[in-house]
Amino acid sequence: MSKVISLSGTKSGVISVSKIDKPYGEKSSPVASIGISLAGNADSPEWKVHIPLDNLDEVIKSLQDLK
């Protein structure tokens, strides 16, 4: 699954969200990958973070609390 979202406040920036099953090799656990590209290149973001899926529910709740 992968999704690209327009980045508010920019002309062409995007937020990319995807799941990576083995981000650090064969024995690594899946992560949610969130990237930001001001240039609009979802495949090569300037910033990115990998969140282990085991932490995803808590991170989502924390983000919702910010809203």
pLDDT per residue as tens digits for the range 11-28: 999 999 999 999 999 999
**pLDDT given for residue 18 in this prediction:** 97
Instruction: Check: CB of residue 29 under 8 Å from CB of residue 54.
Output: yes
pTM: 0.89
- Segments making up each domain of the chain, as ranges: 2-66
pLDDT in tens, 36-48: 999 999 999 999 9
Are the beta carbons of 6 and 16 closer than 8 angstroms? Answer: no
